[in-house]
Structure 1
Amino acid sequence: MAWQFPPPGATRWFLAHGQAAQFGYSFGGTYQGPQYVEAKLDSSSGAADPRDLVVQWHGIENRAVFGGAQDNYILGIWNPSTTDIWFHLDGGGVT
């Protein structure tokens, strides 16, 4: 199963140069097993190279919600580049 977050056509995520942040995605709160994830560049604020995004860690967030528990995937991403970056996640299930 291949997927993208945000979905194609949606507003892309933003990460300023030199910053790190936590991002999350979900399959409707349903755990789908281990996921392989890559952060893919969509655009940047300049043409300077390198333009990199580093996935620093992966995690699962399990939280109680009305009607039961909900699982969401979370990951930390760092932008060591000298430009701001807009990106999306490409992924798929690990088999």
Structure 2
Amino acid sequence: QNSYSMVPALKAIGITHLFDDHVVDLSRMTGKSTGLAVDNFVHEALFETSEEGVGEATKPPEPLDASVITFRANRPFLYVLLHHYNHAVVFMGAVCRP
């Protein structure tokens, strides 16, 4: 499980007013017009897999060539999950102690 503060990334793309209580207006969400701002914005993700796969709900379709591929996780490695159609990065992580 990983937890990551999104504040630096949001500020880097120009979303700064959300963190300044003198500028931001959250009254439509809270009913209070002043003194409120976002202190932290955290993204948390958990990815689990086993020898059986990642689970039925997210299991990819079987390839036409059902040959067996052996993967030995005997050292640290990085992994990237890509969207099936546009190959966008959906999730990225590292295994430090396999």
Normalised by the size of structure 1, how large is the TM-score?
Answer: 0.26
Quick check: which one's strand share is greater? Answer: 1
Normalised by the size of structure 2, how large is the TM-score?
Answer: 0.25
- Higher-Rg structure is 2
